[in-house]
Amino acid sequence: MLNVVLVEPEIPANTGNIGRTCVLTGSRLHLVAPGFDLSERALRRAGLAYWQSLDVRVYEDWQALLLANHDAWAALGGPLSPGGEGGEPAPAMHLLTKRGARRHSDSRYHDGDYLVFGRESTGLDQGLIASHPNLCERIPMVGDAALANAGEWHASHLGLHPELKRDVCGNFVDERSMQVTSLNLSNAVAIVLFEALRQQGYPGLDG
């Protein structure tokens, strides 16, 4: 089972759609301090007929999620480091952010992994990203080449200022010139979740 984590989601309809996707794929949904009432009409409408079947856990904050899920804590380098059963890899954590240097499709997903997404307006906490750049991944999109390349080649070919800074993940960026492309949260979750399921041999996704 894969774990989808939404950290402080803000739009009920997105969470409802993601919940429906989790039900249909047998995934567990973790909600960290959602910015809305879970009984809101927009959420119920988006997840209509599915919400009651959803395996969902709700937490007051990020630390509460880690304390309740020791394998998630271990994936971040916590004191508990459970191994996978039967020689399987221990669950890993995938932090999805536009600042990730690695593409989500270049990662390897295993049963029990955590796919973590931030709030619609600001994404994941910058401190979390800066502390774990090796866990950060991005969905490749048109216009995100600024995160995929670096140095003088980057500046000369993209027409950016040669004095580039590194962001919290170590990417070279010029924030004055870089255009940021983003996806709707429910679309982003679906893209990453289905890639993870494809790698695990989910029926119909092995093409």
Please name the residue that has the structure tokens 């995160």: 147
Reading the block at residue 33, the tokens are 């301090």
Is 105 one of the annotated binding-site residues?
A: no
Is 160 one of the annotated binding-site residues?
A: no
Q: In whole angstroms, give the CA distance from residue 162 to residue 159.
A: 9
In 3D, which of 1, 12, 17, 142 has the Cα closest to residue 71?
Answer: 1
What is the rounded radius of gyration, in angstroms, for the C-alpha atoms of the chain?
A: 18
Is 118 one of the annotated binding-site residues?
A: yes
What are the beta bridge partners of residue 172? 166
Question: Long-range contact list for 47-52, CB < 8 A, 24+ apart?
Answer: 47/15, 47/16, 47/17, 47/19, 47/20, 48/16, 50/19, 50/20, 50/23, 50/24, 51/16, 51/19, 51/20
Is 124 one of the annotated binding-site residues?
A: no
Residue ranges of the annotated binding site for S-adenosyl-L-methionine are: 96, 118, 139, 182
Residue ranges of the annotated binding site are: 96, 118, 139, 182
